[in-house]
Amino acid sequence: MSERSAAALIGEQETPAAKGRFSFRLEIDPARKESPWWMTIVSVVLALLLCAVFIAANGKNPVEVYGKMLRGAFGSEFGITETLVKAIPLLLCGLGVSIAYRISVWNIGAEGQFVAGAIAATAVTIYFPGLPFYASIPLMIVFAIAAGGIWGALTAIPKTYFQVNELITSLMLNYVALLALDYVVFDPWRDPEGFNFPGTPMFTEAQTLPVLGDTRLHFGLVIALAAVALYAFMIRYTRWGYELRLIGANPEAAKHAGINLKRNILIVMIVSGALAGIAGMSEVSGVAHRLMYGISPGYGYTAIIVAWIAKLHPLGLVAASVLFGGLIVGGYSVQTLGLPSSISTMLQGAILFFLIAGNIAAKFRLRRNG
């Protein structure tokens, strides 16, 4: 049979009615820029279901494990305060990441900026050990802001003037900061009375953030909530906030309106890094009371998920930070069931996976042909 005859036969069998009845197509919906709010809830549920499969494969009851995590994070005063302690650096780093994301600058360097702030704050305790509380804490905050801001600027400058992708520079700078941390805690700043433990001497009371009662919940929570309130006011009521919203919505329109894109990129990255730097200061001064190896369990990376799940909304950032703080604390509690605490990391990764997938899927619409 010739090719022309075969084509004619296929055309006779596949009628227009059959095409219209059973044929569908995927097309991009230009009106939908981001996924709806309920997609976030669906993503979290799907992540829980996926991780439940792995938990069951290890011979554990997923319902029991999730219940243990929930009770460990929110079932007692100790659990709630520990969850809030973990939420403080997540909120500050997530807030910094959100400001950058407002204008589509993808700062994934919050981890390095966090560490830079922690190192700078500790430098005050090393080189100015005799300062009183009213001088040491403000100076530690200033040093942390400066270090985090500089670390953010090291990403912004190559992007604005040399078109270097910020994903690469911000990620690489994370490793530079971590190597700097290893250097100071293993050599020049190591506590001579610390039995070779890689950490600095313990902070004095004048170098420590105040805590609430007998808990570990410290004044960093007030700083974080104040920063969120300032962010909400700035985005909604200030000229700079309007510029950020316009750049995020339409960079070309913002440029034609006379808004300096390069200047705004520099500013948001410096502010973003400064907030992560404050998070590092609050961790060493409010929780660890020293700079030590592994000071961050990945707060800067988790902050990316916090910002994504919150959709950059101030209240969403608070809720997401508490949620992921609870995941970390809940991960510790399941160790009594014979599971590793890294289950919380698995949940974080699964949530991010489904959030990204949902955001992509929301841009498409299934339409019927005919």
Residue 32, pLDDT score: 62
Residue 10, pLDDT score: 44
Distances (CA, A) of 285 to 59, 212, 226, 368: 41, 14, 18, 60
Single-letter amino acid, residue 317: L
Residue 357, pLDDT score: 86
Rounded to two decimals, what is the model's pTM?
0.89
Q: If you average pLDDT over every residue of the chain, what do you get?
A: 90
From the list 254, 261, 264, the residue with the least C-alpha distance to 234 is 264
Q: Can you list the residues of the chain whose pLDDT is less than 70?
A: 1-22, 24, 26-34, 366, 370
Which residues sit opposite 199 in a β-bridge? 292
The crossing angle, in degrees rounded to 10, of helices 110-127 and 77-101 is 110
Residue 30, pLDDT score: 62
Question: Tokens in use for 351?
Answer: 């949530």
24 sits in which H/E element: strand 24-28
Residue 359, pLDDT score: 81
From the list 302, 272, 264, the residue with the least C-alpha distance to 148 is 272
Give the Cβ contact number of residue 61 at 10 Å. 13
**Tokens 């998070």 found at:** 279
From the list 288, 283, 291, the residue with the least C-alpha distance to 126 is 291
Report how far residue 260's alpha carbon sits from residue 130's, in angstroms, rounded to the nearest whole number: 44
Residue 370, pLDDT score: 58
Give the Cβ contact number of residue 162 at 10 Å. 8
Report how far residue 354's alpha carbon sits from residue 359's, in angstroms, rounded to the nearest whole number: 8
Residue 364, pLDDT score: 74
